[in-house]
Amino acid sequence: MTQDAAFAGSIPAIYEECLVPVLFAPYARDLARRAAALGPARVLELAAGTGVVSAMLAEALPDAEIVATDLNPAMLAVAAARTRLPNLRFEPADAQALPFGDGAFDLVVAQFGAMFFPDKPAAFAEARRVMKPGGMLLFNVWDAIAANPGSAELQRAVREAVADSPAGPAPEFLTRTPFGYHDRALIEADLRAGGFAEVAIETVAATSPPGSADRLARGMCEGSPLANELAAHPAEVRERAYAAAREAARAAEPAAGFTMSALVVTAR
Distance CA 190, CA 266 (A): 13
What are 19-67's pLDDT values in tens digits? Answer: 999 999 999 999 999 999 999 999 999 999 999 999 999 999 999 999 9
pLDDT on residue 5: 67
Mean pLDDT, the chain, whole residue set? 95
Q: CATH code at 134? A: 3.40.50.150
Distance CA 33, CA 56 (A): 9
The sign one gets for the Cα dihedral 20, 24, 26, 29 is negative
- At residue 7, does pLDDT exceed 90? no
> How many percent of the chain have pLDDT more than 70?
98
pLDDT on residue 82: 87
Largest CA distance in the chain: 56
Tell me the chain's radius of gyration from C-alpha atoms: 18
pLDDT on residue 1: 55
Taking residues 253-258, report their average pLDDT: 97
What are 69-102's pLDDT values in tens digits? Answer: 999 999 999 999 988 899 999 999 999 999 999 9
- At residue 261, does pLDDT exceed 60? yes
> How many percent of the chain have pLDDT more than 90?
92
Q: Concatenate the DSSP letters of all residues of 34-47 into one string.
A: HHHHH--SEEEEES
- Structurally, how many domains does the chain consist of? 1
Q: Which amino acid is at 198?
A: E
Distance CA 58, CA 14 (A): 24
Full residue range of the structural domain in which residue 89 is found: 3-267
pLDDT on residue 210: 98
pLDDT on residue 30: 98
Taking a C-beta distance cutoff of 8 angstroms, is the pair 83, 97 a contact? no
pLDDT on residue 4: 57
